[in-house]
Structure 1
Amino acid sequence: MGLMKKGMTILHFDDTYYEQQRLRKFPHEEIDFEKLQHVNLYCELDSLKILQKKLQKRNEKGITFIGSGNYHYVSFLFLKEITKPFTLVLFDNHPDLGTVAEQEQNLLSCGTWVSYALRELPLLQRVVIIGPTTAMPHQAFDSRVVIFPFDGSHHYSRKSILSAIHTETVYISIDKDVLNRSEAVTNWDQGIMNSETLLHDLAFILKNKQVEGMDVCGEEQISPVQAFLPDFQKVIRKNEEANINILETCLKAGAVQTRGA
């Protein structure tokens, strides 16, 4: 088991990752989308086609760092590449299912991409969402969606989470807004999960399932001018540390898999 595909890709929708020099020291490839228009929060069809065409050509398909949660919908394009029945495991403070009205608009956005994927991808068998602190009552939940909310009163064993995943093949998407603000700082409201829980859950899934790929988003949007200020430097270092911990958890799982082969 473990991460089936290797390598790391960093996407540049803005300047976020240029300040994360420790992360960029790991072997990786980079793809620049900074000049691409109509991609912030929502993605228009023409821009989506450009994104898909460029992403299909990437060599490193193991783990992708997307950037701000505003671009989380890019995960949909990675799910489209999977050729066997699979489960999406999403760590996120928001279910990203959208409201009923948003679902009816059939528009791909950072807040609706999960529902969009359920509608468009027949190989997607189930979505397991771990970590949201709120599930709005006006959201229409598909019967294929299982949610493990984190609101301070629920405690889940890792075996119970694993039992909700019925396929051998899994794709994992992580939005760091699932973490509390002492662990990461994002541009969205955040949950209460700690990094230890996230990393242990991640390692457990990597150990027990064939993970087709992974992505990570949830960067704070910081301008080049702000990046020089001490408070924002602390934010950058905190988010970079979270990214490296996630990456190293994947690399460690891959090393164990190689030794066991």
Structure 2
Amino acid sequence: MESSVALLNFDGSYKKQTFYQTYPYEWIELESMENTSLLCEKETLKDISNKIIGQKRSTIYFLGSGNYHYVSHVLQSNIKKPYSLILFDHHTDTLPSPSNDLISCGSWVLDSLNTLPMLKKVCMIGVSEDAPNHIPNSIHNKVKFLTEDSLQSNLAIIIKSILNYIPTDSVYISIDKDVLHPEDALTGWDHGTMRLKQMLKMLQVLFRNKDVIGLDICGEYPVTPTNENQREIRTIIGKNNHTNDILLRYVKRWMYRKSNFQQMLHA
């Protein structure tokens, strides 16, 4: 059965794109919710969770700007079996939240490790060189990171290292496009140097060797009514639309092949 694509509409960013229109997709409307950018009260997070749960269950989620990356925590909260998080991101997102009542785009991985019992390990790929400074001692034994400079070495060795680290059969993949080189995507944050082709090779190996139980993508450029018609902004939207199209096309292809293979095994 083909999985549909869910588009979270916090900021209207996907209304300017077309990459999803050739696939089954659904909108989850969240624009009316206040105070959700960057920081989110946990009571509001419950409302977001209820909105997502109330929709038809999807496997692939597009979250919008990286300001809403914390929604990945919600998407993983109902996983019922041990799994590892594979995080493609230029930031670790393990900073302490400013309050116990808040979750943020910079704290959600730390919150997930502290509150999601099925999450066993996190593998961060493409983080900045100062990543070790942002990982609290309390979770060091649950985190492996590959910095952007380390990704310049042999890709086969890198992929083997990732697979050797993952202790679970199941993985959840979360992608923030700020991990990519600016030639492949543009976000509202500082960027890494990973190329899209490099990311696709790593993703392909993960799909071949692991049970991918969910995937989300964020990292849209913030577009407002005052800038959406500027030539530069239209170019950025086009670039991100193209990258989203490539990611979605390959992910759905790998999911389809894995599903067919599993059906053959159980025929």
Distance apart, 1:153 and its partner CA: 6.9
Q: Which of 19, 26, 29 is the matching residue for 1:29? A: 26
Task: State yes or no: 1:131 paired with 2:126.
Answer: yes
Q: Residues of 2 paired with 1:187 and 1:241: CA distance?
A: 17
- Partner of 1:235, secondary structure, is helix
Q: Residues of 2 paired with 1:105 and 1:248: CA distance?
A: 39
Write the deviation string for residues 103-148 of structure 1: whole angstroms up to 9, x where unpaired. 5843311001000000001111000100012315254141101111
Given the superposition, is the C-alpha separation of residues 200 and 235 from structure 1 closer, same or farther in structure 2, using an over 3 Å criterion? same
**Aligned-residue identity in percent:** 36
Task: State yes or no: 1:160 paired with 2:175.
Answer: no
Task: State yes or no: 1:63 paired with 2:64.
Answer: no
Q: List runs of 5+ in structure 1 lacking aligned partners.
A: none
- Partner of 1:115, secondary structure, is helix
Q: Aligned residue pairs: how many?
A: 255
CA RMSD of aligned residues (A): 1.8
Distance apart, 1:46 and its partner CA: 2.1
Q: List runs of 5+ in structure 2 lacking aligned partners.
A: none
> Aligned residue for 1:113?
108
Q: What TM-score, normalized by structure 2, do the two folds share?
A: 0.90
- Partner of 1:31, secondary structure, is strand
> Aligned residue for 1:145?
143
Q: Residues of 1 paired with 2:187 and 2:108: CA distance?
A: 19
Higher relative contact order (CA 8 A, sep 6+): 1
| Regions of 4+ moved over 6 Å | none
> Aligned residue for 2:196?
195
> Aligned residue for 2:117?
122
Q: Residues of 2 paired with 1:95 and 1:118: CA distance?
A: 12
> Aligned residue for 1:6?
3
**Superposition pairs of residues 168-207 of structure 1, within 5 angstroms:** 168-207=169-208
- Tell whether the 8 Å contact from 1:9 to 1:65 is kept in structure 2 after alignment: yes
Which residue type is aligned with residue 110 of structure 2?
S
Q: Residues of 2 paired with 1:116 and 1:182: CA distance?
A: 32
Which residue type is aligned with residue 41 of structure 2?
E
- Partner of 1:188, secondary structure, is coil
> Aligned residue for 2:74?
77
- Tell whether the 8 Å contact from 1:5 to 1:61 is kept in structure 2 after alignment: no
Which residue type is aligned with residue 151 of structure 1?
D
- Tell whether the 8 Å contact from 1:168 to 1:209 is kept in structure 2 after alignment: yes
Q: Which of 12, 17, 20 is the matching residue for 2:17? A: 20
Q: Which of 39, 43, 50 is the matching residue for 2:40? A: 43
